[in-house]
Amino acid sequence: MIFSELKPGVSVYGKSIEVFKTEVKAKYHLYLIAGTHGDEVEGVYILKRLFEWLKAEHDLEELSIIVIPVLNPDGHEANTRTNARGVDLNRNYPGSDWKDKFEQAKYNPGQGPMSEPENEFLCKLLEKYPPFLVISFHSWKPLVNYNGDSQDIAQFISERNHYELSPDIGYETPGSFGSFLPEKYHAGVITMEYPNFTADKSLKDIWEENEKSLTELFTTDVLQEKARAFSEKIKDEKGK
């Protein structure tokens, strides 16, 4: 696949938020995003390996894909969950469930919804290139979490990496991307939670146990079918 670099965003500390897009024209787009939480290096590594693979494969079926390797570059450099203002970007989206109250500093939602430049940049991209599906790469424990219209793709992944499949992460996540995106764009969100690397399980090991699930996702037609079905659904809803 051939990717071109789009105009980057800018973090709190002025670091570039790189973004790449295939040269395919489409109404709706697949997003691959890592580094929302700066200390979750496993998700960043997995997307890096997947992105390298996608760029090296030139016989894949056409699909409009947008890749953000690290949404929170300040946090990634400092190895912190939050951005440079101490805000959890995954509690800062302007969904109807956003709350200003939080019990732990790592879940700080910010002074208001969409207060952070990293999320402002992402949401401007979403307006310009509306999503049909977002796969967000995180780390915590082996889990494929899905929100909105994404259970079929999440199940496809889970059947291949044998991670737990769940629509509920187990606790409230007000202002999260998983609640905001289906509400605003009717699109699905898959939150990939990878295990933390240890002395016994390297980043390479985590990639190898997920390589099949991710590469088969792009070598079959499930994503193309998802994009077509989503487009038809939106067309029907607008026609009502």
82: number of Cβ within 10 Å: 25
Distance CA 54, CA 157 (A): 17
Question: Helix and strand tally (H, E) in the chain?
Answer: 7, 10
pLDDT at 191 over 80: yes
1: number of Cβ within 10 Å: 20
Q: What is the pLDDT of residue 240?
A: 61
Contact 209, 144 (CB under 8 A): no
Structure tokens at 152: 């079929």
Q: What is the pLDDT of residue 133?
A: 98
Residue-wise pLDDT tens digits, 203-217: 999 999 999 999 999
Distance CA 156, CA 70 (A): 25
Q: Are strands 131-140 and 188-195 parallel, antiparallel or unpaired?
A: parallel
Sketch out the chain's domains with CATH numbers.
3-239 (3.40.630.10)
What is the arithmetic mean of pLDDT over 1-11?
A: 97
Mean pLDDT taken over the chain: 96
pLDDT at 173 over 80: yes
Residue-wise pLDDT tens digits, 21-65: 999 999 999 999 999 999 999 999 999 999 999 999 988 888 999
Helical packing angle, 222-239 and 151-161, nearest 10° = 160
**pTM passes above 0.95:** yes
